[in-house]
Structure 1
Amino acid sequence: MTRKVGAITIGQSPRVDVVPEIKEILGDSIEVLEAGALDGLTREEIAALAPGPGDYVLVTRLRDGSSVRIAEEKILPLMQARIDGVVAAGAEAVLLLCTGEFPPFSCRRLILKPQLILHHFTAAVATGRRLGVIVPDAGQVEETRKRWAGVGSDLAVEAASPYGPVDAIWEAAARLQAWQAELFVLDCIGFNMSMKREINRRTGIPVILPRAVAARTLIELVS
């Protein structure tokens, strides 16, 4: 019997850059029901969700492949509506396709928040090691330092978007390598397996990829 899980992006679905790699881990017996907080919105409506001073910044992908910066607080009702939709369609669990921090959502099914899963997984293996974190946007660096403080023996954060030129990612990884990082975290669901492998090839340093950790947690719960 095919099981169903929900996948909620803070951008627009389908996330052709994310979900196929998650499906590869989940296998053919699990159907993924996608929905996006920004589905059906015009460019003008999306622009109105842009972060202002003091807003918690999220970076996501639109259906056309472009990226946008949005304020978390402004999309929470949209995310709740998409969660309700996939659960009504039969999802047994819901995975948020974002490593940002979110308040609780109302849901009778399990909700998997990649940031919590990623943080605990990393903390379990980073003891005594220098942790290098890459986030998509320079506006997220300070908040990221606070969120990852205390994980590992020391911490450095660099910004490079998975939705921009890949050379920026390699350069960020090189700076963290020069800082003597011993473990990398790619702190955005947009980073993919190819990026993870290339960083490891270039540096020889282990790399933690959020989508892979989240997908393997999900399969544990529904298989």
Structure 2
Amino acid sequence: MRDEDRDSSLQRITFITAGQSPRQEMIEEIIADLPEPVEAMEFGALDGMAFAEIMELEPRPDETGIATSLTDGTIVAISESWLRHRVLELCEGRGKSIGDLTVIASTGVFDLGTTNPFVVHAQNVLDKFMESILIAGQKVGQIRPLKGQLAPGKEFGANRIKSVYGPAFSDNALVDAARKLSDCDIIVLNSVGYDARMRGLIMAESGRPVVQMRRIISGNLAKILKQSRKHTTGAELLEGSALSLRLEKLTKREDQVFDLLIKGLANKEIAAELGISPRTVEIHRARMLAKMGVSTGGELMRLIVRNISNARL
């Protein structure tokens, strides 16, 4: 979609997928339960690549792979390390504000390190969800799309996680996986490739509650959007958190700079909004950041997003 064709009145969410775009069915399912209409854009890590090139990205025997889909529906496995670098390229410059909310719609063990504050990594969202279940003492079953992803992890409560192989392209394999996990308290589908029909199939066969990765992503996005719409000022955004005490130390002008900064405005835009010089904005901004206990605007945004995202899914 070209920028001139965009409806600027809608919230934009950019989806970065591990395979080839479009993944319209997956994205439509994720955004269906959001609290407001959104404009979805998509970029695939394998877009523009020939099949022969993609086959060269198969993981080595000793390397973790990521399962993903091509435009013709073919399921392929690609190198985790290659995908990590490619996704970081696609994330460059994205997710700096709520208006540019970006989702990395791929699970796997790859760690992207520090990204901009409004980049939502599906794997990180899943990790928090899993931790909340394990803290509650539940035994968790996981269905994964690749056999190479079945090795036990080192995360909290890993001894209460049972992982089995169940590729999305085989109903028989999914039924078999469901039977193997029927002794678990809850089953998690560890890939965005599993759709609502597959969830129903597994739930019927196992008799257990089944959580779909797409729904976990949707729930996290809904929470972020609701929080961003509900709270329009810094004081409201941080109400009830430890950071609210720091906010009380700001002067009136510093508080104004804070509110405009978290809305994504640059120094020159803040200066125009407040009728002061960019240099004066820099002074107030530096003092405000120091009182909030951070050094940069990016660090401040990460603190705020953490305050939003730490709520239970």
TM-score by length of 2: 0.63
| 1:18/1:192 contact within 8 Å kept | yes
1:202 to 181, 201, 205: 205
SS in structure 2 of the partner of residue 25 of structure 1: coil
Q: Using CA pairs under 8 Å that are at least 6 residues apart, name the structure with larger relative contact order, 1 or 2.
A: 1
CA deviation vs aligned residue, 1:43-79 (integer Å, no higher than 9, x gap): 1211121111322211100111001111011123322
SS in structure 1 of the partner of residue 150 of structure 2: helix
Find the counterpart in structure 2 of residue 222 from structure 1: 225
Find the counterpart in structure 2 of residue 154 from structure 1: 160
| 1:92/1:109 contact within 8 Å kept | no
Is 1:51 matched up with 2:54? Answer: no
Measured in 2, the distance between the counterparts of 1:14 and 1:3 equals: 19
State the shift of 1:136 in Å.
0.5
SS in structure 2 of the partner of residue 146 of structure 1: coil
Structure with higher strand content: 1
CA deviation vs aligned residue, 1:88-146 (integer Å, no higher than 9, x gap): 9x96211111111233366545111122211221221342222111100111111xx21
Is 1:165 matched up with 2:170? Answer: yes
With over 3 angstroms needed to count, the CA separation of the structure-2 counterparts of 1:212 and 1:15, relative to structure 1, is: same
Measured in 1, the distance between the counterparts of 2:19 and 2:155 equals: 24
| 1:33/1:86 contact within 8 Å kept | no
**RMSD after superposition:** 2.3
* Large movers: runs of 4+ above 6 Å: none
Find the counterpart in structure 2 of residue 190 from structure 1: 193
With over 3 angstroms needed to count, the CA separation of the structure-2 counterparts of 1:189 and 1:43, relative to structure 1, is: same
Measured in 1, the distance between the counterparts of 2:94 and 2:42 equals: 8
Measured in 1, the distance between the counterparts of 2:124 and 2:117 equals: 17
Q: Which amino acid aligns with 2:74?
A: S
1:134 to 127, 143, 150: 143
2:130 to 122, 133, 153: 122
Structure with higher helix content: 2
TM-score by length of 1: 0.87
Measured in 2, the distance between the counterparts of 1:61 and 1:30 equals: 24
Find the counterpart in structure 1 of residue 249 from structure 2: none
Query: How many correspondences in the alignment?
Result: 216
Measured in 2, the distance between the counterparts of 1:38 and 1:19 equals: 17
Q: Which amino acid aligns with 2:179?
A: A
With over 3 angstroms needed to count, the CA separation of the structure-2 counterparts of 1:129 and 1:27, relative to structure 1, is: closer
Q: Which of these two proteins has the greater Rg computed from alpha carbons?
A: 2
Measured in 2, the distance between the counterparts of 1:116 and 1:28 equals: 24
Find the counterpart in structure 1 of residue 181 from structure 2: 176
State the shift of 1:210 in Å.
1.1
Find the counterpart in structure 1 of residue 20 from structure 2: 12
With over 3 angstroms needed to count, the CA separation of the structure-2 counterparts of 1:135 and 1:189, relative to structure 1, is: same
Measured in 2, the distance between the counterparts of 1:112 and 1:87 equals: 8
